[in-house]
């Protein structure tokens, strides 16, 4: 069970309380620090999947804990930015994203009970949604200002925030789109009559 990919996944779960503590630290760099931790978690998400395939270390525990770690990290970040921005145009998409994760998790559990889990397996659309979501959340958590970007970037913070808002909008659209696609795939089972 304690394969390298699984250890990376558990490390991502450990990062959640660290992320929250750093975000609420009374220091000037708390946003940047929290965004960096979220970026690190995002990288670890891609890394553990790659290593599981490359090292042939896929396990049932890994298949279970990896999506759990992803959802815990994303939901934590969404809750943080909703509280931080206190704006409906941040809160409503966050609610849509959280609701989608709950609904799709329930849908996958239902399809598993019917022996058709593969019908609602993760799609490329879902992966694009996740990528846009991660990029958006990194920017929205960071809220880059003039005191740091000059070290890391050559352009002003407004462009970075505009990009973050853009990715947030794209992630919201892909969230709805992917949910519809999953429901379309599962619809025959959802509307099937019980045998007997």
Full residue range of the structural domain in which residue 24 is found: 4-190
Tell me the helices (H) and strands (E) count for the chain, helix number first.
7, 0
Cα 177 to chain centroid, rounded: 16
Q: What is the mean pLDDT of residues 44-61?
A: 83
Residue 31 lies in a domain: yes
Query: Considering its fold, how many domains does the chain have in total?
Result: 1
Tens of pLDDT, residue by residue over 54-107, are 888 888 888 888 889 999 999 999 999 999 999 999 999 999 999 999 998 898
Distance CA 186, CA 181 (A): 9
3-state secondary structure of 50: helix
Residue 194 is predicted with a pLDDT of: 66
We report the CATH number of the domain holding residue 168 as: 1.20.120.1760
Residue 64 lies in a domain: yes
Residue 90 is predicted with a pLDDT of: 96
Residue 196 is predicted with a pLDDT of: 45
Longest dimension (CA), the chain: 69
Residue predicted with more confidence, 195 or 1: 1
Residue 195 lies in a domain: no
Question: Which of 139-148, 156-165, 169-178 bottoms out in mean pLDDT, i.e. has the lowest?
Answer: 139-148
- Under 8 Å between Cβ of 30 and 22: yes
Question: Which of 16-25, 45-54, 84-93, 145-154 bottoms out in mean pLDDT, i.e. has the lowest?
Answer: 145-154
Residue predicted with more confidence, 3 or 154: 3
Q: What is the mean pLDDT of residues 28-34?
A: 92
Residue 80 lies in a domain: yes
What values do phi and psi take at 114, rounded to 5? -95, 5
Residue 29 lies in a domain: yes
Distance CA 124, CA 178 (A): 9
Tens of pLDDT, residue by residue over 103-135, are 988 988 888 888 887 777 777 888 899 999 999
Residue 56 lies in a domain: yes
- Under 8 Å between Cβ of 93 and 37: no
pLDDT at 43 over 50: yes
Which of 65, 15, 7 shows the shortest CA–CA distance to 35?
15
């Amino acid at each position: 069970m304690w394969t390298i990919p699984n250890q990376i996944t558990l490390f991502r779960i450990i990062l959640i309380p660290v992320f929250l503590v750093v975000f609420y630290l009374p220091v000037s760099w708390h946003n940047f620090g929290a965004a960096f931790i979220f970026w690190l978690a995002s990288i670890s998400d891609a890394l553990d999947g790659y290593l599981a395939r490359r090292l042939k270390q896929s396990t049932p525990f890994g298949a279970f804990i990896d999506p759990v770690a992803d959802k815990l990290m994303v939901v934590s970040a969404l809750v943080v930015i909703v509280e931080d921005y206190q704006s409906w145009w941040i809160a409503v998409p966050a609610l849509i994203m959280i609701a989608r994760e709950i609904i799709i998790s329930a849908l996958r559990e239902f399809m598993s009970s019917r022996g058709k889990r593969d019908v609602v397996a993760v799609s490329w659309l879902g992966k694009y949604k996740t990528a846009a979501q991660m990029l958006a959340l990194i920017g929205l958590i960071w809220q880059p200002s003039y005191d740091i970007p000059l070290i890391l970037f050559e352009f002003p913070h407004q462009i970075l925030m505009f990009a973050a808002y853009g990715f947030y909008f794209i992630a919201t659209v892909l969230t709805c789109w992917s949910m519809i696609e999953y429901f379309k795939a599962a619809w025959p089972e959802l509307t099937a009559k019980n045998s007997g």
